[in-house]
Amino acid sequence: MTCILCGTEREGKTLPFGAVCEKCDCWLHSCIQCALWDSTAQTCRSMTTDSVADRHGKNFCEEWIPVDKKTNSESDPDAGDRFSSLFGG
């Protein structure tokens, strides 16, 4: 996983609830570090999760999915072009 705030790479597939980034000390198991987090709407895309007050803080959400930098459209400048090509654009 890659920390969304500082870009530090973390090895391994599993991540404990209390994990923090080694570089910037932010919580890694948090809403902003989750693939379900919609940064534009500032909310979770899942309809079955409980509301979390501190989006940067540690949470115990069982639906949490680490952001995959390779598939995160915010870090992929060609994503928009590929999307448009799906519709003949």
Express each pLDDT in 9-39 by its tens digit: 988 778 888 999 999 999 999 999 999 999 9
CA atoms within 13 A on the CB side of 70: 2
With H, G, I as helix, E, B as strand and everything else as coil, classify residue 29.
coil
Strand-pairing partners, residue 38, are 43
Helix%, strand%, coil% for the chain, nearest 5: 15, 10, 75
Find the mean pLDDT for residues 56-60: 92
Query: Which position has the higher pLDDT, 88 or 39?
Result: 39
What global pTM score does this model have? 0.71
pLDDT above 70 covers a percentage of the chain that reads 84
Q: Which amino acid does the sequence have at 2?
A: T
Letter for the amino acid at 54?
A: D
Residue with tokens 């599993």: 14
